[in-house]
A and B are shown apart, each in its own frame.
Chain A
Amino acid sequence: MDFFNQDLTSLHSDLVAKKLSAEELTKATFANLKQTDAKIDSFLNLNEDAALAAAKALDAKGINAENVLAGIPVGVKDNIVTKDLTTTAASKMLENFVPVYNATVVDKMTQNDMIIVGKTNMDEFAMGGSTENSAFKVTKNPWDVSRVPGGSSGGSAAAVAAGIVPVAYGSDTGGSIRQPASFNGIVGMKPTYGRVSRWGLIAFGSSLDQIGPMTRTVKDNAAALNLIAGNDVHDGTSSEREVPDFTAGLTGDIKGMKIALPKEYMDDGIDPKVREVIKAAVKQFEDLGATVEEVSLPHSRYGVSAYYIIASSEASSNLQRFDGIRYGFRAKDVKNLEDVYVRSRSEGFGDEVKRRIMLGTFSLSAGYYDAYFHKAGQVRTMIINDFNKAFEDYDLIIGPTAPTPAFKIGDEISDPITMYMNDVLTIPVNLAGLPGMSIPAGFADGMPVGLQLIGKSFDESTLYKAGYAFEQATDFHQATPDLGGQH
């Protein structure tokens, strides 16, 4: 079985009607996973025994008819800690790390009877845009296995796009949910900063990181965000605002919605074929009765530089904890304590992680702090002000998610700046803490192209409402990869 023909609502009704047991669904999921993942390498660690036991227990208990996620198989990005299930963040540093607690989002999954299938591949410590920075394997794009799935949540995206699981969770610091969602033709939501608890997410850039859902449809995505949203006593930055039902406003009616299209998101740096897809999407929104007008976000072009200073600085601080002492990799034949630190870190981290630590340490160091870290924080304010100005007159901002469709494996990995530019359209959203979602909007040269929807702070509901209306009017989300003719 794969998940190309059934959404969560349909699976749920089969489970409630006992046409399908949770155990049968879980067994079928693993059978398909083993066959399909041999081609795309989207999972790092499987949770098969515990998943089957949980499914059997759920069948004995009975499926809650009110909970659309009960019994649903889910993939979890490997930087989200899972008690008793190896969690590596795709780093040699954590190759044998077995967490002693669950991330809050994982507790919510298990408490609500989701079946955790396994941990998905990613760029090491979520640093990268292609999943090529994994210390363990390179995930392939199901639409064309010679291409990357994007990153850093590339394993989660590929697993959903290949029909292995109907839902996977990822994390997004600069675009790591949305860019792979775009590359794989699925729906990926980066919620507002503070909407979802970060407790148990292995920290990268703490003022930017958010966990979010990746699914094949907008409605499934809204249900998957409902599950994980809300305040958590363990994360002092998680918001105390009330969480609405994100599936509630999905009517398909967006007449009168005011949408902005930033001209900077449609400039020469964007692949012309991607721009064509977005222009067609604009037309679609107009046909649905929305108005779309051009705006300017003049400081968005500085987002990449500001982000790589801020995120790397935060990373250099967060990753100090990996010192070879209490857990994680320790180098062999070390002579003294300094040796443990330096050799363990030098042998345990991959090149991209080292580059970010170096950039961050440099940006924070004496003599450079004002020119780099302080300046980047000021530019961040100006990027936020640009968004605030646009949202005075508009409900929603749209544009491409990524400048290009998925590129070939090996094409960009040796050139850090080219790789960093993948995030040029997603980074400003993280810097401002806003919600952003990528939905399938068409194809360029046979590869999926995502449309990005950016909302006001804590207004994920408008993104879902607009995304759902677009999805109902188009059929891009129904297209499936053929994985070399196997499906």
Chain B
Amino acid sequence: MAEERINAEQVAHVAGLAKLEFTPDQLETFTGQLEKIIGMFEELSTVDTEGVPVTSRVTDRHNALREDVAVKSDERAALLANAPETANGLIKVPAIIDESGDGE
């Protein structure tokens, strides 16, 4: 496992990947907490898992196939009622890029 567990710079990088932002104070708190939790995770490095397969699901099913049948939906108004902002029956979002931003 990694020698250095995690520092504030890495936490900020991970926050970027997760689309989260933190104030400097929050970043410090989170770095300390994540350092401890990831430190706990390191006990796993003591387990000999050579040749052990990974389990990623525990369902007793493999494929669940069904006919692809189109059904009508009349929930447009109810769906749009949950949108934060709408215009002309559509969901409204801000410009992808504006002059002051660095939108990707």
Which residues of A line the B interface, CB within 8 A?
Answer: 96-98, 100, 193-194, 207, 233, 236-241, 299, 302, 304-306, 308-309, 316, 320, 323-330, 334-343, 345-346, 349, 354-355, 357-359, 361-362, 365, 367-368, 371-372, 374-382, 384, 416-417, 420, 431-433, 457-458
| Interface of A: prevailing SS | helix
* Residue with the highest number of chain A CB atoms closer than 10 Å, among B10, B20, B81: B20
Q: Are B11 and A358 in contact (CB under 8 A)?
A: yes
B49–A355 CB distance below 8 A: no
Q: Is the CB of A337 within 8 A of B78?
A: no
B2 to chain A, nearest CB (A): 7
Q: B55 near A357 (CB under 8 angstroms)?
A: no
Q: A-contacting residues of B (Cβ < 8 Å)?
A: 1-2, 6, 10-11, 14-15, 17-22, 30, 33-34, 36-38, 40-41, 43-45, 47, 49, 52-61, 63-64, 66, 75, 78-79, 81-85, 91, 93-98, 100-104
- Which residues of chain A are near B78, meaning CB under 8 Å? 98, 100
Q: With a CB–CB cut-off of 8 A, which chain A residues contact B57?
A: 207, 237
Chain A CB within 10 Å, residue with most, of B19, B30, B75, B81: B19
Chain B min CB distance to A145 (Å): 29
Contact partners of B37 in chain A: CB under 8 A = 308, 355, 359, 416-417, 420
Residue in A241, A375, A377, A382 whose CB lies within 8 Å of B56: A377
CA distance in complex: A302, B6 (Å): 21
CB contacts (< 8 Å) of B84 on chain A: these are 324-325, 327-330
Nearest CB of B to A343, in Å: 7
Contacts of A334 in B (CB 8 A): 94
Please state if A381 and B52 are interface contacts (CB–CB under 8 Å).
yes
Give which listed residue, B11, B55, B91, B95, contacts A337 with CB less than 8 A: B95
Complexed CA–CA distance, A392 and B69 (Å): 44
Question: Cβ of A302 and Cβ of B18 under 8 Å apart?
Answer: no
Q: In the bound complex, do residue A358 and residue B60 qualify as a contact, i.e. CB atoms below 8 Å apart?
A: no
On whether A241 and B60 interact (CB within 8 A), knowing A330-B84, A361-B17, A362-B6, the answer reads yes
Q: Is the Cβ of B95 less than 8 Å from the Cβ of A345?
A: no
